[in-house]
Chain A
Amino acid sequence: MNDTLNATQEMAGIPDPGVRVVIAAIVIFVLAVTVLLLYARMQELDKK
C-alpha cells in the first residue's frame, strides 16, 4: 500500500518522503530561531 501511495505521490509531483523530511527539518530550524528572537524582543518590551 505504501508503494502505491509513493507511486501516486511521485506522479503528482510530490518528492519522496526523505526529501520532504529534510525540508521539514530546515523549516523547523528557521521558524524556531524566529520564535526565539521574537520571544527575546517581547521580553525586552515587557520590561520597559
Chain B
Amino acid sequence: MAHDSWLNDRLRYRTTLELLARKLVPQHRHSFWYFFGGLSFFFFVIQIVTGMLLLVYYSPTPETAHESVSFLMTQVPYGWLIRSVHGWSANLMIGCVLVHLVSTFFMKAYRRPRESMWVTGVVLLFLVMGFGFTGYLLPWDTVSYFATQIGTEIPRSIPVIGSLAVKLIRGGDYIAADSLRRMFALHVVILPLISIILVAFHLILNQVHGSSVPLRTNANGPGIPFYPNYLFRDLIAWTIALGAAVILALLLPVSLGPKAEPMASAPGGIRPEWYFLSLYETLRLLPGEILGMNTEMLVNVGVGIATLVLLLVPFLDRRAHRGEPSPVYTWIGIFTILYIGVSTTLAYLT
C-alpha cells in the first residue's frame, strides 16, 4: 500500500516489527505465567492514562485537594468511574507485578544472563508500592490523612537516619501542605519518570535475552514469534484485564470520605493497603521490645536485609547460576509466601 510505504520510509517501523517477529516466546507447561509481565505493563499504561485525566482536575493543597476530588466525582461526567478505575487498576497492577516476581522466582528465570532483569523487576515492585503509598494521601480525606501519618512514622526507628527520613518524607514534623506537595510530586512526576526508564530497560533486556525456560522443562519446539502470534495472546489477556478493572470499578467503586481534620483525633480501625498488611500485622503481633531492643527498629532492619537479599538472589543462588536445581531457594520462597499469606489473612480477620 502506498501510504504504508510512505510511513515506513519515514519511521522505519518495519525494522522494529521484524525484530519483534524474530523474538520467539517459548511454549511449555508453565508458559501461562509469562502473561503477568505483559499484564503489569498494561495496568501501568492504564494508570498513566487515567492518572492524566485525574490530573486535569486535581489541586494539591490541603485547602483544595478534597474539594477538587469531590468536584471530579460529582460534577465531571464519569469522573467517579475514572477515579475508580485508577484505584482498582493500581491494586491489580501491584498484584500482577507480585505474581510476575513470584513466578520468575520459582522458575529461576533470574539465572544467568537475566540478573539485571531481576534487579530492575524488584526495583519496579518497590516503585509500584511507592505509587500506592504516595497516591493514598492525595484525596486528603480522614482515612488517607491518618493512615499516611501512621505509615510515615514507621521509618523513625531506623538507626541514625530514622528521624531525618520521616522529616524528609513529610517535609516537616507532621502531615501538612508540604507533605501533600511531596507526595504529589513523587506520585505524578518522580516515580513515573523513574518507572518509565526502568520499564523500558526491562523490556529491552527481555527483547535481547528472550523469555527464560524453567529448568527441567521441555519446550514444545523453538516457540512462537512475539509479533504477531504472541502479541494477539497478550491483547486477549489485556482485554480481559481491562474488563476486570472496569467491572470492579463499577461494582465496587472507590468512594471519598470526609475531608481530613488534622486537629481531630485519628479514627479507629485504620489499616494500610493490602500489600502492606503483612508488615503491619508483624509489627502488631510482636511485643514493643525484643531483647531490650525496639521492635520497630528490628523490623525495619529486617525489611532492609530482606530487600537486599531479594535484590541479590541471582548472585546468591549459585546452583541456579550453573543451571542446576536449587531447592533451598524454592523452600525459602514457599515459606516467605506462606508467612505473607497467613499474616495478611490474620490482619484482615482481626
Tell me the A residues contacting B by CB distance below 8 Å. 8-9, 11-15, 20-21, 23-24, 27-28, 31, 34-35, 38-39, 41-42, 45-46
Contacts and interface: CB of A to CB of B under 8 A. Distances in A.
Contact of B243 (A8, A9, A12, A27): A27
A34 B4 CA distance: 25
Interface stretch (B71-79, B115-123, B171-179, B210-218): B71-79
B250 A20 contact: yes
Given A12-B73, A35-B239, A45-B232, A23 B255 contact: no
A42 B232 contact: yes
B240 interface: yes
B239 A8 contact: no
Contacts of B297: none
A41 B243 contact: no
B325 interface: no
Q: Identify whether the interface residues of B are mostly helix, strand, loop, or mixed.
A: helix
Given A14-B80, A42-B233, 14 more contacts: A8-B255, A9-B253, A12-B70, A13-B70, A13-B74, A14-B253, A15-B80, A20-B250, A20-B253, A23-B250, A24-B246, A24-B251, A27-B247, A42-B236
A39 B234 CA distance: 11
Nearest to B69: A12
Contacts of A21: 250-251
B250 A24 contact: yes
Interface string B305-323: 0000000000000000000
B206 interface: no
A13 B274 CA distance: 26
A18 to B, nearest CB: 12
A37 B122 CA distance: 36
B80 A13 contact: yes
A28 B73 contact: no
A24 B248 CA distance: 9
Contact of B236 (A23, A28, A39): A39
Interface in B28-86: 70, 73-75, 79-80
B327 interface: no
29 contacts: A9-B255, A11-B74, A12-B73, A12-B74, A12-B80, A12-B256, A13-B75, A13-B79, A15-B80, A20-B253, A21-B250, A21-B251, A24-B247, A24-B251, A27-B243, A27-B246, A27-B247, A27-B250, A28-B247, A31-B242, A35-B236, A35-B240, A38-B232, A38-B236, A42-B236, A45-B229, A45-B232, A46-B224, A46-B229
